[in-house]
A = this chain, B = another copy of it.
Amino acid sequence: LKTYLECYPCFFRQAVEASRLTGLDDKSTRQILIEIGKTLENFPLDANPPEMAVTIHRLVKEKAGISDPYRRQKQESTEMALKILPDIRKNLSMADDPLLMAVQFSVAGNIIDFGVKKADTFEEDITKLIHMEERIIEEEEDRFFQYDAFRESLENAREIIYLGDNAGETVFDRLLIDEIHTRNPDVNIIYAVRGTPIINDAVMEDAHQAGLQSSAQLISSGTDGPGTLLDRCSEAFLEKFYNADMIISKGQGNYESLSGTSYPIFFLLIAKCPVVANHVGCRKGDFLLLDNKTQK
Residues of A participating in the B interface, judged by any CB pair closer than 8 Å: 5-6, 8-13, 15-16, 19-20, 26-27, 29-30, 33-34, 36-41, 45
Q: How far is the CA of A27 from the CA of B45 in the complex (A)?
A: 8
| CB-contact partner of A33 in B29, B34, B40, under 8 A | B40
Q: How far is the CA of A10 from the CA of B10 in the complex (A)?
A: 9
- By a CB distance below 8 angstroms, the chain B residues around A5 are 16, 19-20, 26, 29-30, 33
Listed from nearest, the 3 A-B pairs whose CB atoms lie closest are A37-B37, A9-B13, A9-B12
Given contacts A5-B29, A5-B33, A37-B38, 18 further A-B contacts (CB under 8 A): A5-B16, A5-B20, A5-B30, A6-B16, A8-B15, A8-B16, A8-B33, A9-B9, A9-B10, A9-B13, A11-B12, A12-B12, A26-B45, A34-B40, A36-B37, A37-B37, A37-B40, A37-B41
- By a CB distance below 8 angstroms, the chain B residues around A10 are 9
Q: Give A20's nearest chain B residue, CB to CB.
A: B5
Q: How far is the CA of A38 from the CA of B40 in the complex (A)?
A: 9
- By a CB distance below 8 angstroms, the chain B residues around A37 are 36-41
**Most B CB within 10 A of own CB, among A9, A10, A33, A38:** A9
Q: How far is the CA of A9 from the CA of B11 in the complex (A)?
A: 8
| Interchain residue pairs with CB less than 8 A apart (27) | A5-B16, A5-B19, A5-B20, A5-B26, A5-B29, A5-B30, A6-B16, A8-B12, A8-B15, A8-B33, A9-B9, A9-B10, A9-B12, A9-B13, A9-B16, A11-B12, A12-B12, A26-B45, A27-B45, A30-B40, A33-B40, A34-B41, A36-B37, A37-B38, A37-B39, A37-B40, A37-B41
Q: How far is the CA of A33 from the CA of B44 in the complex (A)?
A: 12
Q: How far is the CA of A26 from the CA of B45 in the complex (A)?
A: 9
Q: How far is the CA of A19 from the CA of B5 in the complex (A)?
A: 10
- By a CB distance below 8 angstroms, the chain B residues around A11 are 12
Q: Give A3's nearest chain B residue, CB to CB.
A: B30
- By a CB distance below 8 angstroms, the chain B residues around A34 are 40-41
- By a CB distance below 8 angstroms, the chain B residues around A29 are 5
Q: Report A38 CB to chain B, min CB distance, Å.
A: 6
- By a CB distance below 8 angstroms, the chain B residues around A41 are 34, 37-38
